[in-house]
Each structure stands twice: as C-alpha cells, then as structure tokens.
Amino acid sequence: MRAELVAVGTELLLGQIVDTHSAFLSRELSELGIDVYFHTSVGDNRERLREVVRQAVSRSDLVIFTGGLGPTEDDLTKETVAEVLGVPLVEHPPSVAVLERMFSDRGLSVPASNYKQALMFEGGTVFANPNGTAPGAAVTVRGTTCVLLPGPPTELYPMYRAEVRPFLMSIRPSEEVVVSKVLRFYGIGESHLMERIDERIRNQDNPTLAPLAKEGEVTLRLTAKAADRKRALDMIEPVKKAILRSVGRYVYGEDEKTLEKAVVRALVRRGKTMALAESCTGGGLARMVTSVPGSSAAFSGGIVCYTHAVKEHQLGVPSNILKSRGAVSMEAAKALAEGASHRIGADYGIGVTGVAGPDPAEGKPVGLVYVGLAERGRPTRVHRLFLSGSREKIQIRAAKHALFILLERLKKGEATHEVI
C-alpha cells in the first residue's frame, strides 16, 4: 500500500510550528507495513490545497491529511477533499449530539460555525474525538482511501491509536508488518561506518540498512518486513550481529537510548556518581545529563567555570597552571576533573575546557578541546580533541565526547576508542 501524508496549515509554511505529525504517522504506518512515499505541507488556500489533493489521490492508495478541520473559514481540508473526490458532505447526527453536549456542559450554545465540523463524507467512516470538537473522517473513492485527522496533538494522537490504527489494519492489503532496530554509534562518521560493513549486508533489500548522521554521532536503522514482528526480528538479528562484529566497538546503545541515557543508566547500575567542571561547554553537558529522568541518582552536580578565578577558587586549579599552561591545556583539564570529583563529591569527575570559537584563544585554535576524566583510586586521564564546526556544534560535540569517554570507562575500564 502506497501512502502519502499531507499536513495542512499556513503556520507550517511560516515556520511558526513544526510538522511533528508526519514523523509520528510515518513511524506508525511503517509498523503496519504501509509504505509512506510522500510528505507534503500546504497552506490554508483552497486552490493550492485542491491541487495537492488531486495529485495525492492520483498517485497514492492512502492519503492522510492532518489539520484544517476546525470551525473557521480557513479550515478547508474536509470541504476541499469532498470537492475533489466528488463525495457530498452530509450531517452526521451522532457528531451533532456530541458537539451540542460538549458546549452545553460548559453552559454555552454551539456557535453556528462549529456545526460544519459535524458534516461527514456520505458513506464514509467517522472517528470520534473525545478531546475536541472536530471528529476525524475517512472515505474511499476509486481505490484511494483519504483519512482526515484534527491538527492538535492532544486530539490527533489519541484518535489515531484508538480508532484510526484499527481502521487502517482492516484495510491494508496484507498482514505484513515492518519492524526496525536502531543501532547508535559514536566516534565514527557515516561514510566510514558504511565502508566497514560488508557490501552484501549494505545492499540487501530485506532487511534494509539506513544510516543517519546526527550531531557528533550516527544511527543505523535496520528494517525488516515480515508476516509478524517475531519473524521480522529474527531476520534483523543475524544482520545486527554481523554489523557488531565489524563496528561494534563504536556502538553505545540501541533504539531510543541516547548517549546521556546510556551514561546515566550505567552509573545507576553501578551505584556510582559523576560531577562536572565545564568551561567551553557552558553547562551544556549538565543540561544533557539532567534531561534524563532519574539522573539525580547519578549526577552530583556541576560548576560552569568560565573565568580563571572560578577555576582556581572553586575547583582548585593551581594558579601556576593557568598562568604557564593556560586554561585550555591538558593540565587544566586534569585539574578541573579532579576538582569536580573531590570538591563536589562524586566517583567520577569530568573537566572540559577548550576553544569553541568563533575566535582563537590563548593562541590556540578554534576546536581544540581537552576532556579530563578523574576516578577515585585511579589515575586521571585527559583526552585531546580537534573538533570542527560552529561554536554551538563544537560545544555539543565536546559534551558528547565527554559522555562517550565516561561510558567507555564504565563499560570497559578505559576509553580506548579512535575517532574517525
């Protein structure tokens, strides 16, 4: 089944909101074995919307529209789809009753404009909306099924899960499902990753491999289509094992496990804690760690130490190091890591110092970063990094490198990875 998603709303084209619905629906349809071929965004303009509808129904078996089901004049989705398909809209008494009850419960009468939300495709399917005034709808004409969903996320997602998903399962032509497994890599670029994977695996069509470069890391999605979930996972497993044999040293997690989640969970499992001394990352590393639910069990605290005075007085960096070697130095990173561990009180201390840009500092180039890792009872190690990109990218990459270095220590006893 060839599917297409159409997001309706001028606010999408103006950049006032981001179309997260299409990402959600693509994932959901993939699990049902329904292939999504196109994503389209169109504003609240009848003629342009009419053109998009015509094109979509001419090339797709399933078209899902999101947005444009409200009561105002610029909510045109249902009316335009009905016009293009040649299907009349008729009053749906159950939807009228729900609408009147919702307003009555608030002590209000129904505005005349809202009644258009109770007009549905003749002979179509209606999806109840307990969270809003706009029901969803579906109609099939000349082999193409159009599904219309409301725009607000609090209405769309519950409606999809409760009513639309079962509907789609009933109309899909086969019982095949699509299952994906995501491997997450750090310390290797996308091109080098694919070079190291056997060509026979790279070029097969089931399961398929799809790399995606993110900021400072790479994900690899393995996707299989089969009669059921277990069979799909069985198809993925030998491919996954082959990949791990080649590049497993760079894998830090699977599926939704981010680098920060992996670090926090590893610390919690071992009953250990970490503390931070951040200079060039400016608190970004602490923000990443504390975004993980339950991180308080692993994160003792951190200090953003931009000035020499804070480095010296709060974290104990010797003044002679700052004067002779500079704040951006291996010695300073080592002292920052040890100061974080000792003064905040944690099993591990991370110190990050470097030049994020846009200009060089202390005669040192933009992108030079030192990450110190201190651990109680073990020698402190310092890693020198040469990072590229904008100031923000260097900060993000430095923070992720620091997390990966700690994760390697937690998993293997030492960070021995090469970055390629």
Q: What is the pLDDT of residues 66-105, one digit of tens each?
A: 999 999 989 999 999 999 999 999 999 999 999 999 999 9
Return the number of other C-beta atoms located less than 10 Å from residue 99's C-beta: 22
> What token pair was written down for 239?
């491919």
- pLDDT tens by residue, 6-24: 999 999 999 999 999 999 9
> What token pair was written down for 347?
């099993």
- pLDDT tens by residue, 333-376: 999 999 999 999 999 999 999 999 999 999 999 999 999 999 99
CATH number of 177-254: 3.30.70.2860
Return the number of other C-beta atoms located less than 10 Å from residue 22's C-beta: 20
Per-residue pLDDT at 176 exceeds 80: no
Give SS3 for 193: helix
pLDDT of residue 19: 95
Distance (Å, whole) CA 333 – CA 371: 6
Per-residue pLDDT at 175 exceeds 90: no
pLDDT of residue 418: 46
Task: List the chain domain ranges.
Answer: 2-171, 177-254, 259-412
SS3 content of the chain, % helix, strand, coil (to 5): 45, 25, 30
Per-residue pLDDT at 234 exceeds 50: yes
Distance (Å, whole) CA 282 – CA 301: 14
pLDDT of residue 414: 55
Q: What is the mean pLDDT of the chain?
A: 94
Distances (CA, A) of 268 to 253, 261, 263, 273, 332: 16, 10, 9, 8, 28
Please say whether the beta carbons of 368 and 382 come within 8 A.
no
CA 391 to chain centroid? 22
Of 135-149, 212-226, 312-326, minimum mean pLDDT range: 212-226
pLDDT of residue 417: 46
Angle between helix 46-59 and helix 77-85 axes, rounded to 10 deg: 50
- pLDDT tens by residue, 87-98: 999 999 999 999
pTM: 0.69
CATH number of 259-412: 3.90.950.20
Per-residue pLDDT at 416 exceeds 50: no
pLDDT of residue 420: 44
DSSP 34: P
pLDDT of residue 419: 45
Percent of the chain at pLDDT exceeding 90: 85
Across 31-83, the runs of DSSP E, i.e. the strands, are 35-42, 62-66
Percent of the chain at pLDDT exceeding 70: 98
CATH class held by domain 2-171: alpha beta
